[in-house]
Amino acid sequence: MNRGLWYGLAAYSIWGLFPIYWKLIEFVPADQIIAHRIVWSFLLLALVRVMLFGRRQARQPVAMTRSVVGLYSAAAVLIAMNWFMYVWAVNHNFIVETSLGYFITPLVNVLLGVAILGERLSRWQWVAIGLAAAGVAYLAVVYGDVPWIAIGLATTFGTYGLVKKKAPLGSVPGLTLETGLLFLPAVVYLATTEARGTGAFLGLAGSTQLLVAAAGPITTLPLVLFAAAVQRIPLSAIGILQFIAPTIQFLLGVLVYKEPFSHQQLIGFALVWSAVIVFGTEGILARTRATPVLDEGEF
């Protein structure tokens, strides 16, 4: 199997289990959690880059042009927005809705591919998009409100994937730059909250502080895997793999954290799941047709 597929599989499996960790530190406000994610992720990435890639990077410097910095600044803002929405939603008992967001993210990837990369959709891909749109619209009508959490997560992460597709740097240097661009603002924000007495970190026990600081490695690992995957396999393949994370999240929300899941939600989700099945099946068949069949004499 292509290494990129393994990277993607691992990344989405870890992301699917994220609610467990965020629930463990739900006593920390979401904005402070995001600041800690940025700070500890950057420190870890910088250390990893120096230890493992320092000499190689010194021989192969990358020009920090305005376009490169602008691209990674956009990626940094997008992923910070996505992080905040997700952590806030999990810790306010909206895990099921977050799963909806990540179920429809692959379809956002496809639409972005059409709108920006000039990709063409097959008939069945359009059917999948229509089914997903119908499911989201049904949920909006039933509850009298648009599922903004789901749409926000899908839009920010789908756009982040598109930006990373165009990113010129490797996975570790690129993520180091992204978090580095946000590092100073995050440090200033955390220092300000502590000075005002609203910060949560310094008042915690040592073991709990370590748990919060663990946001660094827990955040960094799947992001590195994702960045490595998105540069090695097509965006359509990333879309198929992405169904792993919301499936795990949905099961955690309903079975572990006992979030309500009504018959109305079931109808809306059923439409989205139908879209997932159509989209995934079409993608698998398309990849199968594109793979050449070898004669016995070629083995």
Q: Give the single-character DSSP code of 294.
A: P
The pLDDT of residue 297 is 41
CA dihedral 179, 165, 71, 62 (to 10 degrees): 80
Banded model confidence at residue 84, pLDDT cuts 50, 70, 90: very high
State the pTM of this model: 0.83
Contact (Cβ atoms closer than 8 angstroms) between residue 241 and residue 68? no
- The percent of residues above 70 in pLDDT, for the chain, comes to 89
- Residue 214 — very low, low, confident or very high, per pLDDT cuts 50/70/90? very high
Determine the distance from the C-alpha atom of residue 208 to the mean position of all C-alpha atoms in its chain, rounded to a whole number: 25
Compute CA 66 distance to the chain's CA centroid, rounded to the nearest angstrom: 26
Domain annotation covers residue 296: no
What tokens does 224 get? 């590195």
Q: Is residue 9 part of a domain?
A: yes
How much is the pLDDT for 169?
A: 79
Domain count, the chain: 1
> Do the Cβ atoms of 75 and 68 come closer than 8 Å?
no
| Residue 218 to residue 202: CA distance in whole angstroms | 21
Residues 6+ apart with CB under 8 A from 262: none
Considering only CA atoms, which of 175, 180, 162 is closest in space to residue 224? 175
- Tell me what the mean pLDDT of segment 7-25 comes to: 93
Q: Is residue 297 part of a domain?
A: no
What gap in Å lies between CA 38 and CA 296, rounded to an integer? Answer: 53
| pLDDT at site 299 | 29
Q: How far apart are CA 268 and CA 6, in angstroms?
A: 31
pLDDT at 40: 94
Q: How confident is the model at residue 186 (pLDDT cuts 50, 70, 90)?
A: very high
- Domain that residue 93 falls in: 3-288
pLDDT digit string (tens) for 135-151? 888 888 887 788 899 99
DSSP 194-263: HHHT--SSTTS-HHHHHHHHTHHHHHHHHHHHHHHHHTTS-HHHHHHHTTHHHHHHHHIIIIIS-----H
Q: Residue 168's pLDDT band (boundaries 50, 70, 90)? A: confident
Report the chain's mean pLDDT, rounded to a whole number: 84
If DSSP codes are grouped into helix, strand and coil, which group holds residue 299?
Answer: coil
Question: Which of the two residues, 169 and 31, has the higher pLDDT score?
Answer: 31
At residue 99, the pLDDT reads 93
The per-residue pLDDT for 172 is 74
Express each pLDDT in 44-81 by its tens digit: 988 877 776 555 554 445 567 788 889 999 999 999 99
Residue 266 exposed, middle or buried by CB count within 10 Å (0-12, 13-18, 19+) = exposed
Q: Say how far residue 9 (Cα) sits from the centre of its chain.
A: 13
Residue 47 lies in a domain: yes
Amino acid 88: pLDDT? 96
Decide if 293 is inside a domain. no
Predicted pLDDT at 51: 73
Position 115 in a domain? yes
Question: CA angle, corner 35, sides to 195 and 87, nearest 5?
Answer: 125
Over the stretch 235-294, which tens digit does the pLDDT of each residue have? 667 767 778 889 899 999 999 999 989 888 899 999 989 988 887 787 777 666 665 544
The reply to whether 270 falls in a domain is yes
pLDDT for res 57: 53
Give the range among 97-101, 177-181, 239-243 with minimum mean pLDDT.
Answer: 239-243
159 within some domain? yes
List CB contacts of 147: < 8 A, sequence separation 6 or more. 97, 100, 101, 136, 139, 140
